[in-house]
């Protein structure tokens, strides 16, 4: 029996126009009415995820979000931070130097702000700012932060082929020392070691006494792979990365065809 549904946002719940189809909204409201927890699991920060959550209907008792790719577990009805796993200022300075060498812009995210360096890399615009033009960006010299400043993730954006090329130059040990994933073909994300959507979902499951066998998870990108693997039922979108579809238990319709609603109606 499904007791919790974990849903990614971009490429999954959201269509290509960054909207939520009415069929998806109705399906999610139906599932909630059955007493099943619906948990958004996204790489997005709270301030870009919240406007989408608001479209899904009234917040219910004990409603949770997994954001920043699992770096944060947030209780929505109480506006309360339940768990976080953060990066330090020394991590930021290290990755800033590395990304300068790789000619890629770096964004550093906190709970309420996206910080970007004032330094401009010729020919490499900040695609993250372009993707979220209304998000709270702030240009700041990274040397001006206080030593106790914490960050929830770093985001590196570049044209897909260039990013893939430069990723090969990232020292191998960093992939073990940090949690690094590709959330979009043009976007690389860095979190503290051990951070993932699946680990935070397990933490939430333990708290709610829900086993992973009782979870249905939906996603489309490689940062959703661990989520689909731990869930009792892992659902990949038709538009998902082929590697995700290979490990999924079920492939639903695309994000432009209300694939979330199709999967929920199929299993619940």
How long, in residues, is the chain? 268
Higher pLDDT, 119 or 215: 215
Give percent above pLDDT 70 in the chain.
Answer: 100
- CB half-sphere exposure, 163, CA atoms < 13 A: 21
Task: Output the pLDDT for position 103.
Answer: 94
Q: Is the pLDDT of residue 129 over 80?
A: yes
**Confidence band for 72, pLDDT divided at 50, 70 and 90:** very high
Beta carbons within 10 angstroms of residue 172's beta carbon: 7
122 or 247: which carries more pLDDT confidence?
Answer: 247
pLDDT of amino acid 61: 74
Q: Is the pLDDT at 187 greater than 90, yes or no?
A: yes
Residue 101, pLDDT score: 95
Beta strand ranges found along the chain (DSSP E):
4-7, 37-41, 64-67, 72-75, 80-84, 106-109, 114-116, 137-139, 153-157, 178-184, 187-192, 215-219, 233-236, 250-251
* 124 CB neighbour count, 10 Å cutoff: 16
- Residue 257 CB neighbours (<10 A): 16
| pLDDT confidence bin for 176, thresholds 50/70/90 | very high
* pTM to 2 decimal places: 0.92
Query: Looking at residues 179-199, what average pLDDT do you find?
Result: 94
Write down all domains in the chain, each with its CATH number in brackets.
Answer: 4-84+195-267 (3.40.50.1000), 89-191 (3.30.1240.10)
Closest to 50 (Cα-Cα) out of 29, 34, 74: 74
């Amino acid at each position: 029996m499904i007791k919790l549904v974990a849903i990614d946002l971009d490429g999954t719940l959201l269509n290509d126009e960054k909207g939520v189809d009415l069929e998806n909204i109705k399906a999610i409201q139906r599932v909630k009415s059955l007493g099943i927890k619906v948990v958004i699991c996204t790489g997005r920060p709270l301030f870009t995820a919240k406007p989408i959550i608001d479209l899904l209907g009234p917040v219910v008792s004990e409603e949770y979000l997994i954001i920043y790719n699992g770096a944060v577990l947030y209780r929505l009805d109480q506006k309360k931070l339940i768990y976080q796993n953060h990066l330090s200022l020394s991590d930021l300075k290290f990755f800033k130097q590395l990304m300068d060498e790789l000619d890629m812009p770096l964004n550093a995210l906190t709970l309420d702000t996206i910080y970007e360096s004032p330094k401009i890399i010729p020919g490499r615009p900040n695609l993250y700012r372009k993707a979220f033009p209304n998000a709270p960006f702030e240009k700041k010299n990274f040397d001006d932060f206080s030593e106790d400043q914490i960050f929830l993730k770093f985001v590196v954006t570049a044209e897909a082929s260039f990013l893939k090329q430069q990723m090969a130059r990232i020292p191998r040990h960093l992939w073990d020392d940090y949690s690094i994933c590709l959330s979009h073909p043009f976007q690389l994300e860095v979190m503290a070691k051990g951070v993932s959507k699946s680990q935070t979902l397990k933490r939430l499951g333990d708290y709610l006494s829900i086993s992973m066998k009782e979870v249905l998870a939906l996603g489309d990108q490689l940062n959703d792979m661990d989520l689909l693997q731990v869930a009792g039922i892992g659902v990949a979108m038709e538009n998902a990365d082929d590697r995700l579809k290979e490990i999924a238990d079920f492939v639903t319709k695309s994000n432009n065809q209300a694939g979330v609603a199709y999967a929920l109606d199929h299993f619940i």
